[in-house]
Chains A and B, each alone.
Chain A
Amino acid sequence: MASILQFTPFASSVDAAFWQDLANKKLNVLKLSEASQPVYAYYATGHPHQQQLQQQQNPPLPESAISMPTRFCVPAQGLNTTDDTRPPFTFRVTGTILNTNTLEDFKKLDKNSLFQQHTTKIWEAIQNGDAFDCPSALLHFFLLTFADLKKYKFYYWFAFPVLMPQEPWLQLQPMNSIGHTFSSIETAALTNAYQAADRPPFFLIRRKPNTVLLGRLRDWDDYFTDEKDEFWVGFADPSNSNTNPGWPLRNLLALLHEKHGIRKLNILCYRELPGKVTSIDASKILVIELPPSSNYAKPPKSVGWERNAQAKLAPRMADLGPLMDPVRLADTAVDLNLKLMRWRVMPDLDLDKGWGVRHITFVDNGRVSFSNPVRQPLYTFNDSLDGGKPKAEAAAQSLLEIQPTVSAAGHNLSIPMPGHVAISSDDALLKDIEQLTELIQSHDVIYLLTDSRESRWFPTLLATQFNKLVINAALGFDTYLVMRHGSRHGSLGCYFCNDIVAPADSLSDRTLDQQCTVTRPGLAAIAGALGVELMVSVLQHAKGIEAGVSDSDCALGCVPHQVRGFLGQFHNMLIVGQSYANCTGCSEKVIEAYQQDPLQFIKKVLDDPEHLEHISGIAQMKAESDALPDQDWEEDDF
């Protein structure tokens, strides 16, 4: 029963290093040139994977799903056509690559005419006999590419031009296994002869009793002289299919028809499995015929653009950013570093909470001054020129240079402070209030690192209202305090819980050295680093912000409330402060008063900090304690 002979097309597979080589060549050598370059590739003979894959699948896949595509591989050295580096037992093919300068060029290029050019070359090689001397010319392929060097994406489209007869070749019987027709002695002889002939991609076979002889294509005229010999044409078949031969056969048939008038043929689809004992049992037999009315037109039609993985006639794209984009590599490296810590040292670490912060926002109202960069690592000399860049923005910018995938922002903002009357209008004050509220609400951890007590008050109130984790760091000359505020209803206190005086203006009417905190320079880094690690310890604790100090430790160790450091003695103390119901910063009374009318409350507090003492209940407490000394103390009480 004759049926149309169908060929399995090639599926391209390009080594990632080839793309990198192309990118380098484009950048350094080709530059704006769109000239074609030679390129080489390879393929190997097919072999069955079915059994191996069947065993791995449960339930077993249908036959059609199992057959592997026929791979056509471009190696890393593909652009060095004087080279011939490829795996053993493969067949080399040369082709042409054209890389466009833009994606638009890639899309708009006249692909038909380009394709025709290559088809014509193959047809000519057939007509003038060159294909006999160099049969791999029958497989000359074409590769159209666009290398996006900024995004490391490579668009590509392969074409494997093949010539078509007016009506297709027919197969007179289903594809059979080689063992069907050749005895094992004959296959052994064939295998040996093939190796001895240096593994030609196309060859002739003469079958004699108990042996086979191999010949080259160009020896056709002398080869089939004895009519009694069965004559076969063989080709290295890359197809993995049990029913169809591979693409290289197509142009071979065109060649044999044009030059030798062949219309009927026995084909050996040579498929070997190399090893200690090379086996060609996977090879197949075809008996094919061209219909009498069919010929190859002059010139013949052709097909051969590769279909993409979705079986559509469209280009393909390889995104090599993760291997080549330095920004992505840096990101992956940072993540992997954290994971290594987990794997090798601390398996109980929860990597989603803690280090590896990617979203940081800075709030500051100052500018970088000349004395800052040496003590504050995020600033450089350039930041302090021309009056100094705004600190918040400069810090954010600096972070981006350290790790480009961080999301960093800086806000130039003056925090409303008790005792510092608002100079600006109500509207401006309300805007500041809203902006600060929005910032605190939208972040997970708040670091209070400002240089005065009163500037920490309002953020403390807001953070308590939204129950955000606050890490508070304050510096003396050679002492520091690093603490975490307690949760909104928890038992641990905030920065203000131990104070019976409301925060007030501490900055005006002071000498210069009192205004600018003069501290031992190393303290900033020490306190800052402690603040980070304290945050991580809190986050690693199962209770997070609610973690008490006497609760069992987190994976990293204890989670103190306050760390007070004394650099003069190189000594730390761990201290616990309870939350205070009358606290000016975090008590419910103050929060409620604020929530009733934020703008008016803040205005009042900025103007008169003692208002805070009334609201929080401290004023009343003071009045009660003032009343105590009027009591008599009896001598026996001592």
Chain B
Amino acid sequence: YLPIKKTYNNDVIEGEEEILQEEITDPATVNTNAYSYLTMEYHIAYSPSYQVPVLYFNGYDSDGNVLSLDDLYQWIISKEMQDNLKYSNRLSAQGSISQEEHPILGFPFYYIHPCETQSMMRSISHDIINIKTWLSFIGPIIQCTLSHQLFI
């Protein structure tokens, strides 16, 4: 499987923590402002039952807290997929988001359910499709974008 780690900037404000120690003032350290970023982790594994690749993902904030499905819908999942959770009348072309144990790591991961993948891919091309093409269609829903360099 292929893990890819990417990092994004966002402004999520967290609560206070008690300061436990005073340190020497050090003029040689850059003053960093409060920051917040999200780390996304993507894995690709093969689904023997659906016979297509499956995109697994998890998100973490800057402290390492794992993002909930609500968080993911707010920050990561594309607007087109947002309706999926609440009021949709149709599935998106790519499929729905669910959670299960990663087939190799055993950790719970969110994933895009592979039940729609075959029909999505067939609507693109009837030839054998490679991973890059598949990922370029599935990835953007959850901000897993590919560098165009991969296609050169």
Interface residue count for A (Cβ, 8 Å)?
64
CB-nearest residue of chain B to A156: B64
Given contacts A11-B62, A53-B9, A69-B32, contact A340 B96 (CB under 8 A): yes
Interface bits B22-38 vs A (CB < 8 Å: 1, else 0): 11101111111111110
**Which B residues from 1 to 52 make CB contacts under 8 A with A?**
5, 7, 9, 14, 16-24, 26-37, 39
Given contacts A66-B9, A310-B14, contact A16 B34 (CB under 8 A): no
Q: B20 touching A314 by the CB < 8 A rule? A: yes
Q: A303 touching B23 by the CB < 8 A rule? A: yes
A385 within 8 A of B: no
| Cβ of A599 to closest chain B Cβ, rounded Å | 47
Stretch at the interface among A263-271, A328-336, A559-567: A328-336
Interface bits A168-203 vs B (CB < 8 Å: 1, else 0): 110000000000000000000000000000000000
Q: B17 touching A308 by the CB < 8 A rule? A: yes
Complex CA–CA separation, A71 to B88 (angstroms): 39
Q: A323 touching B62 by the CB < 8 A rule? A: no
Given contacts A64-B33, A168-B27, A317-B63, contact A107 B20 (CB under 8 A): yes
Q: A343 touching B91 by the CB < 8 A rule? A: yes
Interface bits A36-74 vs B (CB < 8 Å: 1, else 0): 000000000000010001000000010011101101000
Q: Which residues on A sit within 8 Å (CB–CB) of B98?
A: 336, 339-340
Q: Which residues of A contact B (CB under 8 A)?
A: 4-9, 11, 13-14, 16-17, 19-20, 49, 53, 61, 64-66, 68-69, 71, 87, 107, 111-112, 154, 164, 168-169, 241, 244, 250, 275-276, 301, 303, 305, 307-320, 322-323, 329, 332-333, 336, 339-340, 343-344, 347-348
Task: Return the contact of A311 from the options B24, B33, B149 (Cβ within 8 A).
Answer: B33
Q: B21 touching A9 by the CB < 8 A rule? A: no
Q: A318 touching B28 by the CB < 8 A rule? A: no
Task: Return the contact of B34 from the options A4, A107, A310, A319 (Cβ within 8 A).
Answer: A310
Q: B63 touching A5 by the CB < 8 A rule? A: no
Q: List 20 A-B contacts (CB under 8 A).
A: A5-B28, A7-B30, A13-B39, A13-B64, A16-B64, A71-B7, A87-B5, A112-B21, A275-B149, A308-B17, A309-B36, A309-B62, A310-B16, A310-B34, A311-B35, A313-B23, A314-B18, A315-B20, A318-B60, A318-B65
Q: Which residues on B sit within 8 Å (CB–CB) of A313?
A: 19-23
Interface bits B134-152 vs A (CB < 8 Å: 1, else 0): 0000000000000001001
| Cβ of A507 to closest chain B Cβ, rounded Å | 49
Complex CA–CA separation, A523 to B55 (angstroms): 45
Given contacts A309-B34, A314-B18, contact A347 B66 (CB under 8 A): no
* Residue among A49, A111, A301, A316 with the highest chain B CB neighbour number at 10 A: A316
CB-nearest residue of chain B to A335: B69
Complex CA–CA separation, A348 to B88 (angstroms): 7
Q: Which residues on B sit within 8 Å (CB–CB) of A303?
A: 23-24, 26, 29
Q: Which residues on A sit within 8 Å (CB–CB) of B113?
A: 340, 344
Q: A241 touching B28 by the CB < 8 A rule? A: no
Q: A16 touching B89 by the CB < 8 A rule? A: no
Q: Which residues on B sit within 8 Å (CB–CB) of A69?
A: 32, 35, 37, 62
Q: Which residues on A sit within 8 Å (CB–CB) of B18?
A: 314
Q: Which residues on A sit within 8 Å (CB–CB) of B20?
A: 107, 111, 313-315
| Cβ of B31 to closest chain A Cβ, rounded Å | 8
Given contacts A68-B9, A312-B17, A313-B19, contact A164 B26 (CB under 8 A): yes
* Residue among A13, A65, A169, A343 with the highest chain B CB neighbour number at 10 A: A343
Q: A323 touching B28 by the CB < 8 A rule? A: no
B103 within 8 A of A: no
Q: Which residues on A sit within 8 Å (CB–CB) of B19?
A: 312-314
